[in-house]
Amino acid sequence: MTVERTASPTSAPVIAPRLVPASDITHVVLAFDDNRLIGDLFGQFDQNLAVIEQRLGVEAVARGNQVTIKGPHESCEHARDVLEQLYDRLQKGLDVHPTDVEGAIKLVAAAKAQLTLPTMEPKGRLAYAQVSTRRRTVVARTPAQDAYLRAMDRADLVFGAGPAGTGKTFLAVAYAAALLERGDVARLILSRPAVEAGERLGFLPGDMREKVDPYLRPLYDALYEMMPPEKVERGLQSGMIEVAPLAFMRGRTLTNAIVLLDEAQNTTSMQMKMFLTRLGENSKMIITGDPTQVDLPPGQVSGLGEAIGILDQVPGVALVRFTAADVVRHELVGRIVAAYEKVGAERTAARDAREARRTGGEATGAPTS
């Protein structure tokens, strides 16, 4: 791949989020060596380039195996880094979708701002965390995902807290499947609190697996993406893979295992303490949930929020927070989450203000006759 940079001789119209002087307008010309990868790199009808144009305020024009980027110097450099990252991804045999483009834009921005410190490849490019099984390789798409995967490597207990669509559960299952496949652990245990059934599963028809399958289906879906179906079925039958509601963890010590608790915001304080104390030798725990989507009865404290507050500074425990910016589903999902977060913050501020006025009025209330 070759790179050519030239200063723009004129102040031609530029798609940019802000007005910039003509002297700051730059051309960056990138040429990619492997023509077979160009279609996937630029996207169908150049849709990947369109995402880069929209997000970074540049013009990107493709011709053959070359792309010319024009815009503010900093934005052009950002776009160049993004395309180089995506090209490296394709060279490794990985797919590139519009969501990967969005993720690369965020990762490059985070690295430039030193929000995360990814490792460096021999070529001097950023190497983002990834996890692999024989069935699939998953690469971090956002700074939070990168930090999340690295936290799983270094800590025995990892909390992943944030909105839906950020990859918390899928990455945790992918990491767990990789550990099991490598033989680093002997068992993979996936669990969820069955809040919809009030943890009272005895009244539902069928055996235990039939009772809890509807509540655990997202975990199965992620597992089947990372492992061949026949291997998953053999693991379930042998007990090497266990998918069970939280109530079935009571009284056990989970040794030589990777244990995942999903939807942990729906655990009570006592349930969370019970689960945390199941951790045995040579085991890891990953706990995921969205503290803003608690389905517990009113007045009941969420075990997830309480545990994060208590254990945040404990050695061996890692906490990664996800935000709407980390949503990797449909772009609209990110905007929906951001809108709800904004309303939630406004309601919290209003409630705090009312409480402050109430307590202030009581403290300085006028004397009664």
233 and 164 in a common domain? yes
pLDDT category of residue 350 using cuts at 50, 70 and 90: confident
Q: Which helix (H) or strand (E) holds 341?
A: helix 331-363
Q: What is the mean pLDDT of residues 282-290?
A: 94
- pLDDT, position 364: 53
Residue of 349 and 191 predicted with greater confidence: 191
Domain boundary among 122, 145, 173: 122
Q: Which amino acid, one-letter code, is at 203?
A: F
Weakest mean pLDDT among 2-16, 126-140, 218-232:
2-16
Give residue-wise pLDDT tens across range 67-76: 999 888 888 8
Asked if 209 and 145 sit in the same domain, the reply is yes
Query: Residue 43 pLDDT more than 70?
Result: yes
Confidence band for 248, pLDDT divided at 50, 70 and 90: confident
Beta strands in 49-118 (DSSP E): 59-63, 66-72
Indicate whether 134 and 232 sit together in one domain.
Answer: yes
Is residue 349, in this structure, part of any structural domain at all?
no
Residue at token pair 């009244």: 203
Do residues 279 and 307 lie in contact, with contact meaning Cβ atoms separated by under 8 Å? no
State the pLDDT at residue 277: 93
- pTM exceeding the 0.85 threshold for the entire prediction: no
Q: What is the CATH number of the domain that holds 35?
A: 3.30.1370.10
**Residues 6+ away with beta carbon under 8 Å from 135:** 225, 226, 227, 228
User: The domain spanning residue 221 has which CATH number?
Assistant: 3.40.50.300
The pLDDT of residue 266 is above 70: yes
Find how far residue 143's CA is from the centre of its chain.
8
Range with the lowest mean pLDDT among 52-61, 150-159, 200-209, 258-267? 200-209
Predicted pLDDT at 179: 93
Amino acid 99: pLDDT: 80
Q: What is the pLDDT of residue 115?
A: 43
One domain for residues 162 and 91: no
Same domain, 40 and 181: no
Domain carrying residue 180: 130-328
Domain end point (choices 122, 139, 155)? 122
CA atoms within 13 A on the CB side of 177: 31
As a whole number of angstroms, the distance between CA 52 and CA 79 comes to 7
Domain count, the chain: 2
pLDDT, average across residues 44-48:
88
